[in-house]
Amino acid sequence: MAKSKFLSGKKIVPQPIPKGIKVTELIDNYFQAYNAARLREATQLFAQKMLDPDVTIGMSLTGALTPAGLGGSCVVPLIKAGFVDWIVSTGANLYHDTHFAIGHSLHKATPFVDDRTLRKEGVIRIYDILFDYRVLLSTDSFFRYLIAQPEFQREMGTAEFHYRVGKYVAAREKKLGIKYSSVLATAYKYAVPVYTSSPGDSSIGMNVAAMALDGYGLKLDVSRDVNETAAIVLGAKKGGGRSGVLIFGGGSPKNFMLQTEPQIQEVLGINEKGHDFFIQVTDARADTGGLSGATPSEAVSWGKVDPSKLPDTVVAYLDSTVAMPIMTSYVLEKRKPRTPKRLYDRLPEFMETLKKEHEKALKRTR
């Protein structure tokens, strides 16, 4: 009998795991099925294809990742290696990452505590992470101090806001002798644009709102963010390159990153096909209809992913706090650093390209 084409994959080998095995070997040889296999596929896709020099990589961050230390342990090394070119994050991740940058500590603990007791003792809990309530007050004070500075007394996009904040955070880290750089400080140094899709939905946004009540002039321009992120993707494509998205979690940052292509195609009328690579780590199901669980195949129907590039998409269903360190370790071992693209410095150029292409599209439709 002829062997079925469905039996052409590598054989599953139940060999024992040796002592002292590297993460790269563990993933390549022992993550053989189910979501271990999906994580292997995602990690290999990231290392083998997405990190080619011509690919512009956007990362989205959802869930309380930075309080667990993943900002400094994973996001920062990826930025420094040139493996992340632009970011969309919840404001909460950026806010909590700043705790470390200004000298505060968060503590490992158990989730099985009485939260009424914690409230009485002034202790904040993020599942199994505990920290002093005064950490929030100190971080709020730090952001309000920045927002009161003359350079913030106008309207700006969140990328510019975070870039300017990153300058101050980097200076504070240096003054305090903090060993491990924060996401915003590193993004500032490497000119990685950082966006927040819902800027009012975090303690940073709450402090911006409070300062507005006091008469300060900072306003965050979300329309600029929509156009700038679309311009980054269009700039990558018009420059002869490709676009990849690396999504941890889902929610608003996922959609904000993916909607760049519908903004280009559907709204601005510019000819484009979609992102070239799609990797997501999520615990959300597709059958509930939420965006967090929406598959790359579904994204194709919206124009978010290039239909011809669907084979270069992977979804791994597991906790981001498990996947991110594994993926980071793997790619840092497998790939040499890329030259940072410093996209923040090029935003005016990208915006000009977006405007010109939109004007051309308008002429075609008149």
**Cα 282 to Cα 279: distance, rounded to the nearest angstrom:** 10
Which residues 6+ apart lie within 8 Å of 344 measured at CB? 159, 163, 191, 192, 193
Q: Which helix (H) or strand (E) holds 311?
A: none
Domains and CATH numbers, the chain: 34-365 (3.40.910.10)
Residue pair 53/59 in contact by the 8 Å Cβ criterion = no
120 part of the active site: no
Adjacent-strand bridge partners of 60: 88, 247
For residue 111, the SS3 value is coil
According to DSSP, residue 305 is labeled B
Contact 295, 286 (CB under 8 A): yes
To 5 degrees, how large is the angle CA 321–CA 252–CA 94? 55
Is 0.85 topped by the overall pTM?
yes
Rounded (10°) angle between helices 23-30 and 34-45: 120
* Residue 185 near residue 170 (C-beta atoms within 8 A): yes
Nearest Cα to 326, choosing from 11, 16, 14, 46? 46
List per-residue pLDDT tens for the chain, 366 residues long.
678 989 888 899 999 999 999 999 999 999 999 999 999 999 999 999 999 999 999 999 999 999 999 999 999 999 999 999 999 999 999 999 999 999 999 999 999 999 999 999 999 999 999 999 999 999 999 999 999 999 999 999 999 999 999 999 999 999 999 988 999 999 999 999 999 999 999 999 999 999 999 999 999 999 999 999 999 999 999 999 999 999 999 999 999 999 999 999 999 999 999 999 999 999 988 888 888 888 999 999 999 999 999 999 999 999 999 999 999 999 999 999 999 999 999 999 999 999 999 999 998 887
Out of 237, 254, 304, 309, which one is annotated catalytic? 304
Listed residue (99, 88, 100, 23) closest to 322, CA to CA = 23
